[in-house]
Amino acid sequence: MMLQNDLLLRAARGQYVERPPVWLMRQAGRVLPEYRAVRERLKNFIELVTTPELAAEVTIQPVDLLGVDAAIIFSDILVIPEAMGLPYEMLEKRGPIFPQTIRSEQDLQKIRVADAPSDLGYVAEAIRITKRALSGRVPLIGFAGAPFTIFAYMTEGSGSKTFSTAKKILYRSPELSHKLLQMITDSTIGYLKMQIAAGADLVQLFDSWAGILSPAQYRTFALPYIAQICNAINEVPVTIFAKGAFFALTEFAQLKCHVIGLDWNIEPTTARQQIGNQKTLQGNLDPCTLYADFDTIRKETQKMVAAFGKQHYIANLGHGLYPDIEPDHVRCFVDTIKSLA
């Protein structure tokens, strides 16, 4: 099926675009009343993730309601640990909790490399349904957590300000850490390939907890596994978004990926200097900018695009939308980008 709007894919591949494409992390989510209406009918978040028809429905909502240039499949990065044999619960306001964790060689016996078609078929099905319903209006983004971020949850057992348990394992048990990271990486490659076979037009890796590592640890325990994934995915463009990894931008520039996502702590011009001109950059407005009035949102959005330039660039926030941002303010951001044609 031909895409009617392929701005995202052209920008990702470094081709000319009439204007930058725009989408938002967490665009399918609590910011939309229409999402909350679907979510409230269900007993929990995981039910939404694992029900393909509903996941597809909320995936498409922001295309209709916000006018973005791409959909991103509604799912969760923690489906990978679940598929590896380590289930989790998502508690309201507290976030994910893993009743069991991986902290010893013995614990590795509890888990396996995920078999994507059998363990994660519901995501493929959600992608197929979404692609049919989109019928080429915009591309569909697939995604997964980067291996270190998944490792952090599987060892810590929950979110954390410091992830000191996860990091303790890196320092005390580097061999165990590498074994687990390799299992996660192998699971993730199969998972992303399944998403692509089902119709994902681009895939993004989220390294949400990159910023808790020192540059040396990031080089040892995170980058090599991201590189394996980039090398394994040849079918579609790959985006790396590593929050807090300002120290690794020059290393990201060497990866076989197309797009580097940026958080709002880094200046666009600094990022471009460090990364060079071979990659497309994505980001990076402070999500809190969308709390401001429309004039401020327009001004800050235009300032951002002026700094990045309109080519080799995908407009986005520097992090996911916060749930209490008003949809009108999100549309103001999207419309400002679309008016740049």
State the first-to-last Cα distance of the chain, in angstroms, to the nearest integer. 25
Which of 30, 112, 137, 298 is flagged as catalytic?
Answer: 30
Residue with tokens 């990201």: 252
Taking the complex as a whole, the smallest distance from the CB of residue 65 to a second copy amounts, in Å, to 22
* Closest distance of CB 307 from a second copy, Å: 10
Nearer to a second copy (CB atom), residue 204 or residue 284:
284
Q: What angle do CA 304, 305, 306 make, to 5 degrees?
A: 90
Please name the amino acid found at residue 289: T
Q: CB atoms < 10 A from the CB of 121, how many?
A: 14
Active site residue 36: no
- Is residue 6 among the annotated active site residues? no
Instruction: Please state the closest distance from residue 54 (CB atom) to a second copy, in A.
Output: 27
Smallest gap, in angstroms, from Cβ of residue 245 to a second copy? 9
Burial of 167 (0-12, 13-18, 19+ CB in 10 A): buried
* Catalytic residue status for 219: no
Strand partners, 313: 281
What is the C-alpha R_g of the chain? 19
CA distance 249 to 26: 23
**Catalytic site includes residue 26:** yes
Catalytic position from the list 6, 69, 76, 201: 76
User: Apex CA 285: angle with CA 281 and CA 288, to 5°?
Assistant: 155
Whole-Å CA distances, 294 to 19, 188, 290, 299, 328 = 21, 40, 8, 9, 9
With beta carbons less than 8 A apart as the criterion, state whether 112 and 180 touch.
no
- Is the peptide bond between 284 and the residue preceding it cis, with omega within 30 degrees of 0? yes
Taking the least distance from each CB to a second copy, the nearer of 191 and 246 is 246
Catalytic residue among 10, 39, 137, 298: 39
Q: Which residues on adjacent β-strands are paired with residue 142?
A: 203
- The nearest distance, CB 126 to a second copy, in angstroms, is 28
CA neighbor of 109 nearest in space, from 88, 87, 86: 86
Task: Between 48 and 249, name the residue whose CB sits nearer to a second copy.
Answer: 249
**CA 264 – CA 318 distance, rounded (Å):** 5
Q: Confirm whether 76 is a catalytic residue.
A: yes
Closer CB to a second copy, 31 or 56, in the complex = 31
Residue closer to a second copy (CB basis): 189 or 266: 266
Q: At closest approach, how far in Å is the CB of 160 from a second copy? A: 10
Contacts to a second copy by CB under 8 A = 161-162, 164, 167-168, 170-172, 211, 213-215, 217, 244, 246-247, 264-267, 270, 286-289, 291-293, 296, 318, 322, 324
Question: Smaller CB distance to a second copy: residue 209 or 225?
Answer: 209
Q: Which residues are catalytic?
A: 26, 30, 39, 76, 153
